[in-house]
A and B are shown apart, each in its own frame.
Chain A
């Protein structure tokens, strides 16, 4: 990796980019112990699989992350209350809370259409006048036959500029897939991928923000799903093929010779 590593926090983040994603939570906990002075920055910069909590008021599940956390409490998107209770906690303004309620409904529909299960949560917070930020979370777990999971975290900033708004989106998907059995032993693929996107889109009313961020997130998830499929089940398999040749050296040589011969013929014809 070509990133410059010069300070302890760079080194901690570099370690998290190298250590097995299968153990991300345990390794993060250990690094926090090892470097308590950088713990806060480390924890806020490293994505871990989302934790599920149950809303005390509505009984509905919701997702926990750094953005609905205040002290040791998490805010439910359903009730807008903290658990454990935190009356002095940070809340979105009344106007933004209204948008947050609508956004939770809209992305819940999206979740049902794409994930056919799982959990979604949206949290919004005020930043500067004419601007706000938010996070859209999805989590789907399948326990059987193996423990597979998808966690996506979409953090965005929205800045209104007249009839347009500028959106900066950072999306991370964490994906774990595994199989095991007597003939294949255990096979585990796990990891995360982060992508960014910036776009200017027209706005008619405050509600337009939901449609705008919705389309951006929908496009981003489609793109990332394809990239994840390519890396997990294509590139990784190809690397395994580089480590051990399934066909053996003689067949590899025969294929090389054939490729050379075809190239030669093609070369002649095209001149």
Chain B
């Protein structure tokens, strides 16, 4: 029984979506070898790659800009000609090649003033947070820094005019933060993603933080975390700076808790699975072990064989 081309592409797509940080191209080239049908693969997995890029908040270079633009479902504009991505900072939308990540075909995408004022203020506050906590910087005593980058973006509701914006019942601004590091010489890669939906009208910020780490020296070890906090806002007229302070507090608390949970997993689950040494604190006496079994049966007693 062999699979149809469509079934193969569905399976291949599910692997693309599971690619560890920075390894999607390796997964793609593996799939090319397995499927041996480049055309079907390219056509079929384009959709999966678009999904992957937006889900992983892949950051791409924008021609003529110093910052990186974040691909996000909140900035995705579907039209008959295909998918475009909004760069809210320069109010322009682009076509982004899902495989090469090449950015092209800029088109103006004006953001209504009633939305851009608050959006710009959030962006400014978020930029500050990004610099303080996510932008790579050398660490004390570390000569060989990891590769990678950090980026952020604030997406307003995708409407064309103040009139349309006014017609929205409740407005949601989406803040995306992504921080990726790759260190192939030490066999690891990692990504921290934070997605925040800011809805002042409902006095609420909804978060979704995900951290993924791949460690692959003589093995394959992965960390996957997920945390979805809710932050209550004190009033609908809360400022962007106040919102960022609340987001920072929540994320700092989460980071501390995550660091703690490594200890609790080590001292809890891990220790409960296998002891370092037997309860007697000595290794097993293998020469006695078979005699011990016999002796145990004869005497009906039980004391483990241990090398003295």
Contacts and interface: CB of A to CB of B under 8 A. Distances in A.
A223 B223 CA distance: 22
A177 B3 contact: no
A94 interface: no
A110 interface: yes
Nearest to A258: B140
Nearest to A108: B293
A27 B15 contact: yes
A190 B220 CA distance: 8
Contacts, number: 281
On chain B, which size bracket covers the interface? 35 or more
A228 B146 CA distance: 22
Interface in B21-38: 23, 26-27, 29-36
Contacts of B284: 109-110, 113, 214, 218
A191 to B, nearest CB: 3
A146 interface: yes
Nearest to A222: B276
A18 B21 CA distance: 10
Given A109-B293, A142-B272, A256-B139, A195 B218 contact: yes
Interface stretch (B68-76, B82-90, B157-165, B184-192): B184-192
B286 A8 contact: no
A236 B224 CA distance: 11
A264 interface: no
Nearest to A248: B132
Contacts of B299: none
User: Interface SS of chain B: helix, strand, loop or mixed?
Assistant: mixed
A72 interface: no
B216 A243 contact: no
Contacts of A23: 18
Contacts of A162: none
Interface in B240-259: 251-259
Given A10-B33, A12-B30, A210 B215 contact: no
B149 to A, nearest CB: 11
Given A105-B293, A179-B265, A240 B221 contact: no
A17 interface: yes
B141 interface: yes
A133 interface: no
B305 interface: yes
A175 B188 CA distance: 18
A240 B134 contact: no
B225 A194 contact: no
A18 B26 contact: yes
Given A115-B273, A240-B190, A34 B223 contact: no
Interface in A13-54: 14-23, 27, 30-31, 33-36
B33 A11 contact: yes
A249 to B, nearest CB: 5
A-B pairs with the 10 shortest C-beta distances?
A191-B221, A185-B227, A211-B286, A193-B219, A11-B33, A113-B278, A243-B192, A148-B269, A11-B30, A259-B140
Interface of A: 1, 5-8, 10-12, 14-23, 27, 30-31, 33-36, 102, 105-106, 109-110, 112-116, 140, 142, 146, 148-150, 175, 177-179, 183-195, 207, 210-212, 214-215, 218, 221-222, 225-226, 228-229, 231-237, 239-246, 248-250, 252-253, 255-256, 258-259
19 contacts: A11-B30, A18-B20, A21-B220, A106-B289, A114-B275, A148-B270, A179-B261, A184-B258, A187-B223, A189-B223, A207-B290, A228-B270, A236-B223, A237-B259, A240-B213, A243-B180, A246-B259, A256-B139, A259-B140
